[in-house]
Structure 1
Amino acid sequence: MNEQPLSVTVVGSINADLTVTVARRPGPGETVMASGGGISPGGKGANQAVAAALQGTEVRFVGAVGDDAYAAPATAVLRSSGVDLSAVEEIPGATGLAVITVDETGENSIMVIPGANAAVDADLVDRWRGTVADAGIVLLQGEIPASGFLAAVRAATGRVVVNLAPVVEVDRAALLRADPLMANEHEAGMILTQLGFDGDAAVAAGPDACARALVEAGFASVILTLGAEGALVATPGRRQRIPSPSVTPVDTTGAGDAFAGAFVARLAAGDDLVTAARHAVRVGAYAVTGHGAQDSYPGPGAVLPGQE
């Protein structure tokens, strides 16, 4: 464990989530009845920041919201969980918006309108370069422009952790700074393809082959998230499966972000990769038993699935 826990800076997206619930998702040209329609806070960057902060980590955020009515609900849980929003800029226009459809099995489909997140480019990140440089860990996702991603990696003096979701084209050298790279199997295949490897073949060969291929591509460490199957931790010469406790899912929205934030929180506290992943799979499992993203994340003192 670290004598002094590291601080975390998240450079990422902030969204308002519009969630509807359906018995099943509609096919092409089909109309189905739905319920819900409420607005809740989301965005991969914000979700991960909240998850980390709720685990007791000092978190700062670099990002942007619009000057519209969605900005306040989009940042409400960030504020209440103690994330420092000094480096979140308000710009003219719309806050990022995600439209989420959840079926009766808890599976979801998500459409994202970037809004203000499109302004988190190199110029904005450079204005907050000190916030990035001062962090022990910098956490990045794929919901901001590639130039902002590159600027954040260049400014980072601490450890860089990347969850490239969605998978977008980013600078190769910047991406390979990830330690670890976090991805699900589908994303891992797309990242391998982006790096010039046969991503489809790696995915078809299974998680172990996929993780090995990413390490061989140049990543110092890789965390593959496997949903209900848990996670796989890979470094040169070592791969270890981390099983997830069994739960009944209600809504899988934001579960991967819960994992990522909790994982980074434990890294910041000094845990090794495997120990951090063991904690993170329990937090991810907890998250799928509640509705929404940030509202489903465990706070201090919560009893996690599989916790003795």
Structure 2
Amino acid sequence: MQVFVVGNISVDETFLIDELPAKGASIHGVKTHQDLGGKGTNQAIILSRCGIKTTLIAAVGNDSQGKWCHEKIASENLALFPSSPRDCRTDTSLVLNCADGDNANITTVTAANVLSLDDINQAMSFSNSGDVVLQQGNFSVEKTAAVFALARKKGLITVFNPSPVKWAFAQLLPLTDILVVNQLEVRLLSGENEILPAAEALLNTGVSQVVVTLGAEGALLLNAQGLQRIAAPPVKVADTTGAGDTFLAVMLASTLRGQSPISAKDMRRAAKASAITIGRIGTLSAFPTRQELAELLN
């Protein structure tokens, strides 16, 4: 079994600030580092480090940043398609990291938009029934729907992490097998204010499994077997960037390795991995290593 992550690659530039600026405000900040990022890339790298055969379907531009991204990805045990850059600028994420550990991100999608359905279809031609297609929220609703429709036609399992979230993504839930959302996303997609009724509403659209991450309060899983909750392990917060991507990838890797539906055990493993990321500064540099993940998963 393998996972096809259809998403984005970006260069993350992180600035440390005291608090998020109000509209029209000018503030001071300190650029702390530059790292490889993009939700698709983050999730693909962690899946690969978990020992899952992974292909990242994502584009970079033909600029110096694109070359730098290719070099970084080449150091991971991860297949990248397409292998050649596109005639555009590489996407960039501006990460505003507050002193309390919270963050806000601004991400461009120029290269992500250049990635064509033909590119994606060509990469997925190497898939087999039962493989997994994982998408985030960096494409248009129409393009995201087309990828999932193609996946369903090929008999693939569809996993959706609709971040950045769009309200219109709700129409794609009937094409989704596993949905992973945070508290903001579950409310927006369902129209419900309370977390559990919101998750139930999404499950009723035809999604097989709904996972809601709750930050310091842990996570919950809702499926046909009922409700399961897990607590988050205590951690000293250094930087929350990439924590959600770590959780999703390790949870998915754990359930794929066990060849069974998502369980509380899978989520607890994911929460421990996410705590490692939260306790470190950066994106790629903060992710658990192969050795750390092997210890968590075995």
1:77 to partner: Cα distance: 4.0
Distance 2:133 2:293 in 1: 28
1:73 to partner: Cα distance: 3.2
Distance 2:176 2:29 in 1: 40
Deviation by residue 1:40-93 (Cα, 9 ceiling, x = unmatched) = 111110011011111111110111110011113334443222110143551111
Q: Tell me the amino acid that sits aligned with residue 268 of structure 2.
A: R
Indicate the residue corresponding to 1:255 in structure 2. Answer: 243
TM-score w.r.t. length of structure 1: 0.87
Change (3 A) 1:135 1:73: farther
Indicate the residue corresponding to 2:222 in structure 1. Answer: 234
Distance 2:295 2:98 in 1: 23
Distance 1:8 1:121 in 2: 19
User: Matched residues, percent identical?
Assistant: 26
Aligned residue runs from structure 1 range 99-248, under 5 A = 99-132=94-127, 136-156=131-151, 157-168=155-166, 169-170=168-169, 172=171, 174-192=172-190, 199=191, 202-203=192-193, 205=194, 207-248=195-236
Change (3 A) 1:279 1:88: farther
Distance 2:81 2:123 in 1: 10
Indicate the residue corresponding to 1:3 in structure 2. Answer: none
Deviation by residue 1:210-269 (Cα, 9 ceiling, x = unmatched) = 211211232111000111111100003501111110101100011101111112211221
Q: Secondary structure at the match of 1:49?
A: helix
Superposition RMSD on alpha carbons, in Å?
A: 2.4
Indicate the residue corresponding to 1:273 in structure 2. Answer: 262
Q: Secondary structure at the match of 1:139?
A: strand
Change (3 A) 1:148 1:292: same
Q: Secondary structure at the match of 2:165?
A: coil
Indicate the residue corresponding to 1:35 in structure 2. Answer: 30
Q: Tell me the amino acid that sits aligned with residue 161 of structure 1.
A: V
Q: Tell me the amino acid that sits aligned with residue 235 of structure 1.
A: N
Q: 2:6 matched to 1:11?
A: yes
Distance 2:270 2:260 in 1: 11
Change (3 A) 1:127 1:300: closer
Q: Is the 8 A contact 2:63 2:90 kept in 1?
A: yes
Distance 1:272 1:91 in 2: 38
Deviation by residue 1:13-45 (Cα, 9 ceiling, x = unmatched) = 111111111122233333322112532111110
Worse-superposed segment, 103-112 or 23-32 = 23-32
Change (3 A) 1:216 1:63: same
Q: Is the 8 A contact 2:17 2:96 kept in 1?
A: yes
Distance 2:108 2:37 in 1: 12
Distance 2:89 2:156 in 1: 32
Indicate the residue corresponding to 1:195 in structure 2. Answer: none
Q: Secondary structure at the match of 1:273?
A: coil
Change (3 A) 1:305 1:58: closer
Q: Secondary structure at the match of 2:59?
A: strand
Q: Secondary structure at the match of 2:288?
A: coil
Q: Secondary structure at the match of 1:118?
A: helix
The runs of 5 or more residues in structure 1 that have no matched partner are: 1-5, 193-198
1:7 to partner: Cα distance: 1.1
Q: Is the 8 A contact 2:162 2:169 kept in 1?
A: no
Worse-superposed segment, 123-132 or 208-217 = 123-132
**Post-superposition, which runs of at least 4 consecutive aligned residues in structure 1 deviate over 6 A?**
303-308
TM-score w.r.t. length of structure 2: 0.89
Distance 1:271 1:298 in 2: 24
